[in-house]
Amino acid sequence: MKQIYVGLTGNEAVATAFKQARPHVAPAFPITPQTEMMHKFADFVADGVVDTEMILVESEHSAMSAAIGSAATGARTFTATSSAGFALMWEVVYIAASLRLPICMPVVNRALSGNINIHNDHSDAMGGRDAGWIQLWCENTQEAYDHALMCWRIAEHKDVRLPVMINYDGFIISHTAESLHILPDEDAWKFVGPKDLKAGYSLLDMDRPITVGPLDLTDYYFEHKVSQIEALKRAPKYIAEVYKEFGQLTGRHYSFFEEYRTDDADLVIVALGSTAGTAKDVIDAQREKGVKVGLLKIHMFRPFPAAELAKALSKAKVVGVMDKSASFGGWGGPLFNEIRSALYDLPARPKIHNWIYGLGGRDTDTKQIVSLIEQLQAIAKGREAETVNLLGVRL
């Protein structure tokens, strides 16, 4: 298949993928840095390129509520948000997952207020990690585009039926024009395929009328939560299948996490999102100097691939987990805690340290990552170090 080489911002690339997936409904409410994505998609609708019904709502809470109503009828539905917008839709984010609705939603990651900050960190999505959504994370514009195509196949699979959140870094990815390969519309459509409007259930099926979201008390609520837990346990198998099929189609192969130069690595950095790219360049330079360092970049944070991660990190001497969000009053960031917990049952655990970095969009340059690697080296040589550290902050 011949792909098209273009320059697009992350937002434009995701809008393009969604256009190619021909959604039926898209409730929209603007928030920086997501706005441009929905703006671009609205252009496609206005130009008649795609016949999605856009619903312009008055808040993010309404956007997600409208998405839930739409998806419950069986319609392919997406919305998008960032930061405070995601926080405002909180209540209904949980309901989307509880009702097992295959809604897709980019969370264009941005810091939470206050103070007001429009730039990137991962505080928004990390707050939603227990909401029952599948969470996929992207390093660059290419990965954001690819996941915006693949998410439909994952969300709508009859044995998954869960909402999918695609995370890409605000401004760093959303507003950066990058070169990437996109699929021709017909090939993208062939991959995504039409939604089975009758899959599971439909509000519009008069022969089998149902109620969605009724009162669910001590009698069955627990069982319904277990069905969500089980659905997330099943999801990795199908995510792997979709990744594999997409790889065969495009030559771009994804897995739950990417291992970069980790084969013989004593030191492994774990990261999410765009920082992983910067880290790869630093790792190449450090390798030239003989430093055995590698990177593990996580695509699938929910469901969390604990066993696979434990295996992948088992040979490292020191693991440095980078968290672009703080857990106030907690012990280290959310990614750190999950990685550390995943490694607990290993017979011989690597040392695991945490670095909180990049809050509110603080630029994470190569020097900061070099400094992190130097600290990992020192720890490997036996130097005592704090478990939770800060990177790139004025002290």
Partner 1 sequence: MAAATTEIRWHGRGGQGAKTAAIFLAEAVLDQGKHSQGFPEYGPERRGAPVRGFTRISDAPIRLHCSIAEPDYVIVLDPTLLDSQAAGVPDGASDDTVFLINTVETPANIRKRLGIKGGKVHTVDASLIAQECFGRPIPNMPMIGALAAVADVITLENLVASLVVRFKKKFSQAVIDGNVTAVERAYKELVSE
Distance separating alpha carbons of residues 192 and 221, to the nearest angstrom: 33
Name the one range near partner 1 by CB under 8 A: 146-154, 197-205, 338-346, 357-365. Answer: 357-365
What character string, x for contact with partner 1 (CB under 8 A) and - otherwise, covers 100-119? ------------------xx
Choose which of 51, 130, 230, 363 interacts with partner 1 (CB under 8 A).
363
Stretch that binds partner 1, among 101-109, 128-136, 165-173, 187-195 (CB under 8 A): 165-173
- Is position 178 an interface residue for partner 1 (rule: CB under 8 A)? yes
Interaction between residue 43 and partner 1 (CB under 8 A):
no
8 A C-beta contact, residue 372 and residue 269: yes
Nearer to partner 1, 131 or 356 (CB): 356
Q: Is residue 378 near partner 1 by the rule CB under 8 A? A: no
Report long-range pairs for 110-117 (Cβ below 8 Å, ≥24 apart): 110/31, 110/32, 110/33, 110/82, 110/83, 110/170, 111/83, 111/359, 111/360, 111/361, 112/83, 112/84, 112/87, 113/83, 113/84, 117/360, 117/361
Given 169, 257, 305, 321, the residue binding partner 1 (CB under 8 A)? 169
Closest approach of partner 1 to the CB of residue 284, in Å: 6
Query: What are the DSSP calls for 204-216, one per residue?
Result: T-TTS----S---
Closer residue to partner 1 (CB): 327 or 364: 364
The answer to whether residue 275 forms part of the interface with partner 1 (CB under 8 A) is yes
Is residue 345 involved in binding partner 1 (CB under 8 A)? no
Choose the binding region for partner 1 from 128-136, 177-185, 201-209, 312-320 (rule: CB under 8 A). Answer: 177-185
* 262 near partner 1 (CB under 8 A): no
Q: Smallest gap, in angstroms, from Cβ of residue 274 to partner 1?
A: 4
Q: How large is the angle between the packed helices 366-380 and 275-288, nearest 10 degrees? A: 60
185 touches partner 1 (CB under 8 A): no
CB 346 within 8 Å of CB 236: no
54 by Cβ neighbours in 10 Å (0-12 / 13-18 / 19+) ranks as middle
Partnered with residue 296 across adjacent β-strands are 259, 270
Helix (H) or strand (E) holding 68: helix 60-72
**Strand arrangement, sheet containing 267-271:** 257-260, 293-298, 267-271, 318-323, 351-357, 388-391
| Residue 366 contacts partner 1 per CB under 8 A | yes
Say whether residue 261 binds partner 1 (CB under 8 A): no
- Under the criterion CB under 8 A, does residue 49 sit at the interface with partner 1? no
Q: Are 165 and 86 in contact (CB under 8 A)?
A: no
Tokens coding 267: 């030191």
Does 5 participate in binding partner 1 (rule CB under 8 A)?
Answer: yes
Least CB distance to partner 1 at residue 174 (A):
10
Using the rule CB under 8 A, is 274 a contact of partner 1?
Answer: yes
Q: Which is nearer to partner 1, 49 or 118 (CB)?
A: 118
Q: Which helix (H) or strand (E) holds 28?
A: strand 25-28
Classify residue 56 as exposed, middle or buried by CB count within 10 Å of its CB (0-12, 13-18, 19+): middle
**Could you say which of 53, 196, 284, 374 contacts partner 1 (CB under 8 A)?**
284
Angle CA 259–6–47, to nearest 5: 125
Residue ranges that bind partner 1, judged by CB under 8 A: 5-7, 9, 118-119, 139-140, 169, 171-173, 175-179, 274-275, 277-278, 280-281, 284-285, 363-366
